[in-house]
Chain A
Amino acid sequence: GAVVSQHPSWVICKSGTSVKIECRSLDFQATTMFWYRQFPKQSLMLMATSNEGSKATYEQGVEKDKFLINHASLTLSTLTVTSAHPEDSSFYICSAPPWGDGYTFGSGTRLTVV
């Protein structure tokens, strides 16, 4: 089945620095990748959709300049959290469109900004 590999699993960074999260489709090509954010005991919230070869689409209220998304190839999408602050601490998860029946999710990245 489709596998999405997400790295790193967790990262701690200092306030004001940037962090890059990678999401790779291992056994299929993904022209689209979805990025979600999940706060403790909250639902997954769609942040943006990355599209290979074109600009990402951001959901209302998500800062484009803070959350930079790049879909460099058919197997790689990245999310860069720029000038991170403690309020950006969250669980970030990527997802590929259905390959078969359901959307496939990465294992998630726990970001802690100190």
Chain B
Amino acid sequence: EDQVTQSPEALRLQEGESSSLNCSYTVSGLRGLFWYRQDPGKGPEFLFTLYSAGEEKEKERLKATLTKKESFLHITAPKPEDSATYLCAVQVTGGGADGLTFGKGTHLIIQP
């Protein structure tokens, strides 16, 4: 069974305090790993897609990396507006539906 585990469940940081969020996955075959941001009561907002181990992508204060077993979302010098739940999801090979399998997310709070 495909599984995605995110840690920590919640993280509280001071503004400017850099940190990393972890996403571990166990899948039959990975087609893509996705990171999303979700604000309360809203749908997920796309951040990154990673396809192969060693790949890295950056956007503003966020950087996503991928290995064969896990992905990290690094946040550098975060601001209060970065507070949200960050979701990791995988798309697996051979799946007929092509839908995503999500982790439970990391609830990130950035304090001013």
The answer to whether B97 touches A57, judged by C-beta atoms less than 8 angstroms apart, is yes
Q: Is A103 an interface residue (CB 8 A)?
A: yes
A71: min CB distance to chain B, Å: 14
| Complex contacts, A46 vs chain B, CB 8 Å | 97, 99-101
30 A/B residue pairs, CB under 8 Å, sorted by A: A4-B43, A6-B43, A32-B98, A34-B97, A34-B99, A36-B99, A41-B104, A42-B104, A44-B100, A45-B102, A46-B100, A57-B96, A57-B97, A91-B41, A95-B43, A95-B100, A101-B46, A101-B49, A102-B48, A103-B34, A103-B46, A103-B100, A105-B43, A105-B44, A105-B45, A105-B46, A107-B43, A108-B42, A108-B43, A110-B41
The answer to whether B97 touches A102, judged by C-beta atoms less than 8 angstroms apart, is no
Q: Mark B24-35, 1 if CB is under 8 A from A, else 0.
A: 000000000010
Q: Which residue of B lies closest to A46 (CB)?
A: B99
Q: Mark B47-70, 1 if CB is under 8 A from A, else 0.
A: 111000000000000000000000
| Complex contacts, A45 vs chain B, CB 8 Å | 102
Q: Is A15 an interface residue (CB 8 A)?
A: no
The answer to whether A93 touches B101, judged by C-beta atoms less than 8 angstroms apart, is no
B residues in contact (CB < 8 Å) with A: 4, 34, 36, 41-49, 87, 89, 96-105
Q: Which residue of A lies closest to B45 (CB)?
A: A105
| Complex contacts, A103 vs chain B, CB 8 Å | 34, 46, 100
The answer to whether B42 touches A107, judged by C-beta atoms less than 8 angstroms apart, is yes
| Complex contacts, A104 vs chain B, CB 8 Å | 46
Q: Number of A residues whose C-beta is below 8 Å from B?
A: 28
Number of A-B contacts (CB under 8 A): 66
The answer to whether B97 touches A43, judged by C-beta atoms less than 8 angstroms apart, is no
Q: Mark A29-47, 1 if CB is under 8 A from B, else 0.
A: 0001010100001111110
Q: Is A77 an interface residue (CB 8 A)?
A: no
The answer to whether B103 touches A108, judged by C-beta atoms less than 8 angstroms apart, is no
| Complex contacts, A101 vs chain B, CB 8 Å | 46, 49
A109 to B62, CA, bound (A): 28
Q: Is A25 an interface residue (CB 8 A)?
A: no
A107 to B97, CA, bound (A): 21
A74: min CB distance to chain B, Å: 17
